Amino acid sequence: MLLTIFFNPVELRFVEAPENDIYIVLDVMRATTTLAVMFDQGARRVLAAQTLEQAREAAQKVPDHLLCGERHTKTPPGFDYNNSPAQFAQIDLSGRDLILTTSNGTRALFACPEQSTRLAGSFYNAQAVVSYALALALAQERDCNISMVCAGEYGYFSLEDTVCAGHLAFELLCQHPKCEVRDSVHAAIALYESYPAPRLLEYAQSAHDLMASGQEHDLEFCMRKNASDSVPTVVGVEAETGLLLLNEKYRSNG
């Protein structure tokens, strides 16, 4: 098994990314953290859209879905909710279906190979997503690798996503020391060791943007480790809307 970290989804265009591999997508502030909170709050499924137009068109086709998301941290006109884990933690989503589009995270889900296994990872569900990815990769007769894909910040390198990738890689190697790694893994682990919270919040641009927009309450959720056993997983394409369909696929307590 080979572990790779991509610091930006664009990197996937320049390699032969295997379809049968497992991809853990990381958008710590905030999409992949928010997805875990949504399922913790009882959401039945989430449809991920790349663009605002796709999300709005889907909302017209399936009007019973909550329309959620952001652009540059702000709630788009006509949306029911932002992309705030703190906000969703206060809402009962039992049995609800949602549509989510974000500046970076949902796009990164689309960047992975179409037939691959795509998981949403963060500090918030770190232990759960690592355990689930390893269980899938080590399943009998399955020959695949694990890659972590940092969503980045509007096309640029994201410190918090890379630090989180380093944390997940460290945890994965503790559980499976025989795993081979690329150089990107060593780099991410070094950054994880250099930028523990709260130091990470002092340097991450996304943290500064959230604080500037009055959404600093989300940072507590984004930095919290192992608070959730939910692993949001892409299970296909929703037929009516054409959006990626995510379900909750794992809980360590059975």
CATH classification at residue 25: 3.90.1560.10
Instruction: Confirm whether 254 is domain-assigned.
Output: no
Q: Which helix (H) or strand (E) holds 162?
A: helix 159-175
Q: Tell me which DSSP letter residue 14 carries.
A: G
State the pLDDT confidence band at 19, using cuts at 50, 70 and 90: confident
d(CA 102, CA 82): 9
Between 141 and 97, residue with greater pLDDT: 97
Instruction: Confirm whether 242 is domain-assigned.
Output: yes
**Full DSSP string of 68-104:** EE-BTTBPPTT-SB-S-HHHHTTS--TT-EEEEE-SS
Structure tokens at 169: 């890689």
Q: Tell me which DSSP letter residue 116 carries.
A: S
**Which pLDDT does position 254 carry in this prediction?**
42
Output the furthest CA–CA distance in the chain (Å, rounded): 50
Amino acid code (one letter) for 41: Q
Per-residue pLDDT, averaged over 1-30, amounts to: 94
Instruction: Confirm whether 234 is domain-assigned.
Output: yes
Number of structural domains in the chain? 1
Percentage of the chain with pLDDT > 90? 93
Q: What angle do CA 149, 153, 157 make, to 5 degrees?
A: 65
**Which pLDDT does position 251 carry in this prediction?**
63
173: helix, strand or coil: helix
State the pLDDT confidence band at 249, using cuts at 50, 70 and 90: confident
Per-residue pLDDT, averaged over 140-153, amounts to: 88
Instruction: Confirm whether 175 is domain-assigned.
Output: yes
Per-residue pLDDT, averaged over 205-215, amounts to: 97
Per-residue pLDDT, averaged over 176-190, amounts to: 97
State the pLDDT confidence band at 250, using cuts at 50, 70 and 90: confident
Instruction: Confirm whether 201 is domain-assigned.
Output: yes
**Which pLDDT does position 140 carry in this prediction?**
60
Domain that holds residue 123: 2-246
**Which pLDDT does position 16 carry in this prediction?**
86
State the pLDDT confidence band at 17, using cuts at 50, 70 and 90: confident
Instruction: Confirm whether 197 is domain-assigned.
Output: yes
Instruction: Confirm whether 217 is domain-assigned.
Output: yes
Instruction: Confirm whether 252 is domain-assigned.
Output: no
